[in-house]
Amino acid sequence: MRRQFGAKPRKEDLEKYTRSNNWQVNKFQNLEDTSMNINIQDLPKLLYKQFCQKQGREPEKPIPIEPFDKADFLKESSDSKLIWYGHSVLLLRLNSKTILIDPMFGQDAAPISPFGIKRFSNDTLNIIDDLPEIDLALISHDHYDHLDLNSIQKLIPKVRKFGMALGVARHLKKWGVPENKMVELDWWEDLNFNDIKITFTPTRHFSGRGLMDRSRSLWGGWVLRTPKENIWFSGDSGYGNHFKEIGERLGPFDFGIMECGQYNEKWHQIHMYPEESIQAALDVGLKKIMAVHWAGFALAQHHWKDPIRRFISAAAGTSLKLSHPKPGEIFTVKQLKDHSWWEAFK
């Protein structure tokens, strides 16, 4: 249990963090004032709803994952290939390289809680066994629904390189990842990886795995640019001015992967409502998008189908083209998927 917390920042870690322009008053800061409207009086009711009132917040039966077709995924193509595994887990084939984003395949998004938050799909850790060698795994921040001890330990022999938000490496080092396999990025920093230019972009969020490490590592999204395509993963974020700046500095984009889900009025500034996800996509200048951060865990009090239904509704009447693939299904930016697969579940 204790290992799940990861590692506290050491003196040398803090010295490194202080060199970042985003580190102020002993922690990382958002680009604009951000807070969560939760006080001690709210907690008992909030925790009761979270762990005891689950009707409609999770599907009545497990969501299946499409079997991994390794040959099809690795087959040479002029177009990038993507697979979504629910919540924010993405597998991409770009420029003949395999990239994994936020590889949380674990079954519990609250492993340090006595109650737990179980995944909507079964046996997802076993997916790692079927995956090919991962050239690069990217980690947007250190929250439990994005960074998982069991997943990382299974991935260590498969992953050639880990790229992550500044401050996250200390957790992976504790879990056995060699230092020479890790690189940390600050906002707007680039990683040039086999003709893929990867940029870490700002979000409006926070980090932490325990009570004492709030915002002691950074959080963000990822831009992946190849000579042929430019793809953006938004990362967890509240709505803010950074979206327009990302579009101006790093666009135009061929495809956007938008956070949409686990929102609540109590933490509205760190997670967008679906309508804001659509507006953020427009701010960035996207043309094709998909919603993630849903269909994995019940981390908020809304119905589990609410994010995708509102996302689709908000996009109606805009120029945006949407892709909503089945979990585990291969698709490309040019061949979007439009299944309403979730309507087959209660």
Residue 129 in any domain: the answer is yes
Q: What is the pLDDT of residue 282?
A: 98
- CATH number, domain of 155, equals 3.60.15.10
Residue 262 in any domain: the answer is yes
Q: What is the pLDDT of residue 118?
A: 96
**Which among 259, 34, 257 has a CA at the least distance from the CA of 145?**
259
Residue 312 in any domain: the answer is yes
Q: What is the pLDDT of residue 150?
A: 97
Residue 126 in any domain: the answer is yes
Provide CB contacts within 8 A for 279, sequence distance 6+: 239, 314
The pTM (predicted TM-score) of the whole model is 0.97
Q: What is the mean pLDDT of the chain?
A: 95
Q: What is the pLDDT of residue 2?
A: 86
Tokens of 268: 């509205």
Residues 127-155 pLDDT 10s: 999 999 999 999 999 999 999 999 999 99
DSSP string across 70-104: HHHHHS--SS-EEEE-SBT-EEEEETTEEEEES--
Q: What domain count does the chain have?
A: 1
**What are the 10-residue block averages of pLDDT along the chain, 346 residues in total?**
91 97 97 82 68 85 98 95 98 98 98 91 98 98 98 98 98 98 98 97 97 95 97 98 98 98 96 98 98 98 97 97 98 94 96
Residue 43 in any domain: the answer is no
Residue 97 in any domain: the answer is yes
Range of 103's domain?
63-344
For Cα atoms 6, 215, 200, give the angle at the middle one, nearest 5 degrees: 90
Residue 285 in any domain: the answer is yes
Q: What is the pLDDT of residue 115?
A: 84
Angstrom CA distances, 141 to 16, 28, 59, 181, 226, stand at 17, 12, 27, 17, 23
Buried b (16+ CB within 10 A) or exposed e, 271-285: bbbbebbbbbbbbbb
Residue 326 in any domain: the answer is yes
